[in-house]
Amino acid sequence: MEQENTTRKFKTFPNLKAESFQHPWDRQAISALQAIPGFEFLVKKLMEIGFEQFFRITNLASNIHVKGKMLPRLRESLRYATRILDMAEPELYITTHPLPNAFTYGETRPFIVLTSGLIEAMDEEEMFFVLAHELGHIKCGHVLYKTMARNFKMVLDIAAGATFGMSALISTGLEMAMFDWERKSELSADRAGMICVQNQHIANRAFMKMAAASPKLYAEMDEGEFLRQIRSYEDAADESFINKTYTALLTSRMTHPFLIMRAKQLDSWIQGGGFSDLTGIDPMDARAENGEFIETTGQ
């Protein structure tokens, strides 16, 4: 995201609060999760286990740490995103894995990990969206609970020793609630991505690439057809039906929503005026691909 390589204009948002862009489904799901008896106990056990230190050491031992003169353009993208979202810069690592993916760990010292498959798939603007998405998880306070979700069985096994097996009695309901929240948290993180790239073309390209996954297809993808697809998604089932049955019937053990669902929710936020109300950016301007790179403040 160097100045000489872009002609885009970005707006920064001092004092941006996570609550201003969090998806309502995310807020509802985390409230339901926190209300489950035994949940806070398991969170405490997770902190005692020390996952954060383990994964940080693993990163330092086997992955590339993006810092100093290492991959400076990627680090500049991260810095721009943190300035737009008004948050501290986390550590960033690259790991070798063919699948396009990104994830965030660390409650006290968060860090982001990008796979080599993701780097291969995305251009710099699309990578900017992905980085901002991961920063959105940090901004919204998702990281501790996401770490717990990804290591749920281990947390339960350790907790069982401290509760004489009682944790198994709450495991199924808690696990389903955790997966439900984890999927819905992605919708908030996508909004953070959009706040940073301020251009729906970029978000849509990132979604299309994540859905198709083959570089051979990228040149022939059509955003107009993709928009028609995501806007017709609600014709198959209204959102109230999706929100009520989607956990039990369709995606109960998935950690992410369907990509079309994510793209549809982001498009609805933009079309409904939520993005513009928050940022002061006209939805049509959000699709513009010209202008100077100038940081402007406002919210």
- Beta-ladder partners of 12: 297
Cα of 75 vs its chain's centroid, Å = 18
What's the confidence (pLDDT) of residue 241? 56
What's the confidence (pLDDT) of residue 52? 74
Alpha helices per DSSP H over the chain: 24-34, 39-49, 51-62, 72-85, 116-121, 124-139, 143-150, 152-163, 167-197, 200-212, 223-236, 239-245, 259-271, 274-279
Secondary structure class of 115 (helix, strand, coil):
strand
Report residue 239's pLDDT band, with 50, 70 and 90 as the boundaries: low
Residue 149 backbone phi and psi in degrees, to 5? -65, -40
Give residues with Cβ within 8 angstroms of 201, minimum separation 6.
223, 287, 289
What's the confidence (pLDDT) of residue 166? 47
| Percent of the chain whose predicted confidence (pLDDT) is above 90 | 42
The pTM of the full predicted model, rounded to 2 decimals, is 0.83
Q: Which residue has the higher pLDDT, 50 or 286?
A: 50
Task: Indicate whether 188 pLDDT > 90.
Answer: yes
Task: Indicate whether 95 pLDDT > 70.
Answer: yes
Report residue 157's pLDDT band, with 50, 70 and 90 as the boundaries: low
Q: Write down the domain spans for the chain.
A: 3-297
- What does the pLDDT look like over 96-133, one tens digit per residue? 999 889 999 887 888 999 999 999 999 999 999 999 99
| Span 188-195, average pLDDT | 97
What's the confidence (pLDDT) of residue 35? 84
Q: Which two tokens stand for residue 97?
A: 């894995």
Interior/surface letters 135-174, b for 16+ CB within 10 angstroms, e for the rest: bbbbbbebbbbbbbbbbbeebbebbeeebeeebeebbeeb
